[in-house]
Structure 1
Amino acid sequence: MNAYEVKKLFPILDQQVNGHPLVYLDSAATAQKPLPVIEKIEDYYRRYNSNVHRGVHTLGTRATDEYEGAREKVRAFLNAGEAAEIIFTRGTTTALNMVARGYGDMHVQAGDEIVISLMEHHSNIIPWQQLAKRTGAVLKYLPLQADGTIALRDVEDTVNEKTKIVAVMHVSNVLGTVNPIAEIAAIAHKHGAVMVVDGAQSAPHMTVDVQALDCDFFAFSGHKLGGPTGIGALYGKRALLEQMDPVEYGGEMIDFVDLYDSTWKELPWKLEGGTPIIAGAIGMGAAIDFLHELGLEAIEQHEHMLVDYAFERLGEMEGLTIFGPDSRAGVITFQLGDIHPHDVATVLDAEGIAVRAGHHCAQPLMKWLEVTATARASFYVYNTKEDVDALAQGLIKVKEYFSDVLL
């Protein structure tokens, strides 16, 4: 199935915006939803809407089977060892906070060190800042090379016997940098630290094997891979998840409740308090099925082709600066002369082209780049070379519109 055929499966893309065919280049923020996902969610609400685990009636059994079936799909998607190692969450942010609270509070003490990188999304900065404040631990940052990559020698120099947690994003949502997670994990483990991976930008775009990466925790969001919003997953090695305290207490996660004490269910349910995001999990399972049908390797190759073509079309445009390494995932982050990125995005939107503008929830990285904001085009399975051509033509119009302020 080529990109033009794939695009037809995304009904939202068949529309005009401001009198122009929609060109959606903001998939790093959220991906559009294919028909199989939309239909699967509708089917749940039409035919077997029910709570899971608690009832013995037919609808409850169907819902439970689909919900737990989605967990197994996530397990296979990440190549986790068992379904009990998959915890459903509201998304990457919730999953990372769950690790910082449920694992970090139990294992990090004053004087210990937490290591992250300068390229991290705020969701992989603030939980560790707060953990350091709660415990008296020291938060340290891996430096970046000039092209926005992490050098393993810097990891070796930063991680030491005091390090308890290393938390690094798999793929940068700004630079497109693909970090060497397996190698970083090996260094972390050599010093007795655990490896936490923000996989929000990798899981939708490439094959992820948590066992090959040997990460201890891996978090991702369903909406970035074509599933619904408000659902994601945390993978954790069983031994570490067993050590974690629940972050939310209430129904669903309990084994027995007495007047003054309670006990918890076994994994994964002890970490999933309350009525779960049932339709979201089922929809995310459908999105994973859809990606498997397309093939993760084919998706990755398609995005690399689009990035190469974007470099070809945009690379020689006068006044345009592209940030990040040459070898990258499907993200192009740029500045156009002295034009503010919000103005760039506004003019592009008038042409029906959706890009992201701002600090991309990565303000420390913006400071490192010596900018306050950038514009970002991000690609996915439904994008084509024609979308890149539209972006290039749109940027020419931006330059014409703001010609008086260009350098």
Structure 2
Amino acid sequence: MDVKALREQFPILNQEVNGHPLVYLDSSATSQKPVSVIEAVNEYYRQDNSNVHRGVHTLGTRATEKYEGAREKVRRFINAGSTAEVIFTRGTTTSINTVAYSYARTNLNAGDEIVLTPMEHHSNIIPWQQAAKATGATLKYVPLQSDGTFTLDDIRETITDKTKVVAVTHVSNVLGTVNPIKEVAKIAHENGAVIVVDGAQGAPHMKIDVNDLDCDFYAFSGHKMCAPTGIGVLYGKRELLEEMEPVEFGGEMIDFVNLYDSTWKELPWKFEGGTPIIAGAIGLGAAIDFLSDVGLDNITAHEKKIADYAMAQLRSIDGITIYGPEERAALVTFNLNDVHPHDTATALDSEGIAVRAGHHCAQPLMRWLDVTATARASFYLYNTEEDIDRLVDGLLKTKEFFGDVF
């Protein structure tokens, strides 16, 4: 994998920020886009712009073919059994909310349990809080080990025959913890529960096989995997999606409309009310082509190399605290001495280095870590060891500056 050649496919990386070459270390928030994705979206708007499914004219036909072609690309990318199991949404948040609203509110009752972990993104906590309030179900949390992981014994002790939903992230956006989804799914199913996986940080970085994982629902966002913003996917097992009611009603998702009642289209379209995110879906299809050409195994191996190098180099800095397990995905979350992470991020930005600072939409996890916020450097296929060297140099300058101030 020629990373330097790959970087040339990302025009945004070829710029200076504050007088320094840009080092982009915020891909967990959103990834950058290659030329092929930018051109695919541009081509749709320049040549094919039309609504889908509704028209028989040439532009409508071409747009529909590209839109539904993107759905087939997603199906292959995650090894779903059918395109009927691939729902286009606005992103991971919308996907999880769809399950929490449509599936959970119909199937949960007072006394049932929803099992989460403290490492979840807010998007995989708040929808379940609302579902619990609406149904009388109870929220339970799997305890975490000191390094920010959980054991399968932790899972077995938390999930009971009262558990109806297990909602867990594939990869923590703060700790970098990679959770054993296949094993958790087995335990959930043994207890009669369904498992909902937040794959926002999983799908961009590793091969996903929803059949092998045996997850009931898997949600992810395009913008974290080289696609445009505003497009995402909800995978669901067909038998579950068939039983679920739509959560948005209007055009496109209907079959017949009468004055006092209506019927819905078949899957997947009954969940895609209104004009869909056509350009976004086409861009997602182009991103999948790009990632598939590079090879997900190559991306995973490269990211592990970068993450290992980053951990080793950051540990050489006195006064730095790194959060999360030794074995991790492609990110490092840290704090530097008594410097507020927002100050750390601002100082790094002055050197052209983009990192994330804050609670990362994971306030319960921040409380578990006993911090209010952290800084996070996250990596993707276009990052290099030189980027890490720049980060370390920037942190040393930050430490020196704030050491003089205080």
TM-score w.r.t. the length of structure 1 is 0.99
Shift of the alpha carbon at 1:405? 6.6
Answer yes or no: is the 8 Å Cα contact 1:178–1:328 preserved in 2.
yes
- 1:238-295 deviations in Å (ceiling 9; x for gaps): 0000011000000000000000000000000011100000000000000000000000
Give the match for residue 187 of structure 2. 187
- Code of the residue aligned with 1:261 in structure 2: it is D
Where does residue 4 of structure 2 map in the other structure? 4
Which residue does the alignment assign to 2:133?
133
Give per-residue Cα distances to partners, 1:168-206, cap 9 Å, x unaligned: 000000000000000000000001000000000000000
- Please say if residues 37 and 286 of structure 1, whose CA atoms lie closer than 8 Å, have aligned partners that are also in contact: yes
Aligned to 2:309: 309
Deviation at 1:68, TM superposition (A): 0.3
Question: What is the number of equivalent residue pairs in this alignment?
Answer: 406
Aligned residue number for residue 263 of structure 1: 263
Match of 2:249 in 1: 249
Structure 2 counterpart of 1:143, one-letter code: P
Q: Distance in 2 between matches of 1:24 and 1:210?
A: 30
CA distance in 1 between partners of 2:161 and 2:180 (Å): 21
Q: Distance in 2 between matches of 1:214 and 1:30?
A: 27
- Who is 1:117 aligned against? 117
- SS of alignment partner, residue 288 of structure 2: helix
Question: Unaligned stretches of 5+ in structure 1?
Answer: none
Offset at residue 2 of structure 1 (A): 1.0
User: 1:49-198 alignment to 2 at 5 Å?
Assistant: 49-198=49-198
Q: CA deviation at 1:404?
A: 4.3
Residue 72 of structure 2 aligns to a residue whose secondary structure is helix
Aligned to 1:393: 393
Is 2:270 the counterpart of 1:273?
no
Comparing 102-111 with 89-98, which one deviates more in the overlay? Answer: 102-111
Correspondence 1:290 to 2:290: yes
Runs of 5+ consecutive residues of structure 2 not aligned to the other structure:
none
Q: Hey, what's the Cα distance between the residues in 1 that align with 2:101 and 2:254?
A: 19
CA deviation vs aligned residue, 1:35-83 (integer Å, no higher than 9, x gap): 0000000000000100000000000000000000000000001000011
Q: Tell me, yes or no, if the aligned pair for 1:338 and 1:405 is still in contact at 8 Å.
A: no
Offset, 1:316: 2.2
Q: Which amino acid aligns with 1:277?
A: I
Aligned letter for 2:45?
A: Y
CA contact (8 A) 1:156 1:187 kept: yes
List structure 1 segments (4+ residues) > 4 angstroms apart after TM superposition: none
1:171 alignment partner, SS class = coil
Residues in 1 aligned to 2:311 and 2:171: alpha-carbon distance in whole angstroms: 19
> Counterpart of 1:160 in structure 2: which amino acid?
T
Aligned to 1:27: 27
TM-fit CA distance, 1:311: 1.3
Rounded to whole Å, the distance in 2 between the matches of 1:405 and 1:84 is 59
Kindly provide the amino acid, as one letter, of the partner of residue 401 in structure 1: F
- 1:334 matched residue in structure 2: 334
Q: Displacement, 1:141?
A: 0.5
Aligned-residue Cα RMSD (Å) equals: 0.7
Q: Secondary structure at the match of 2:321?
A: strand
Aligned partner of residue 223 in structure 1, secondary structure = coil
Partners of 2:205 and 2:380 in 1: how far apart? 8
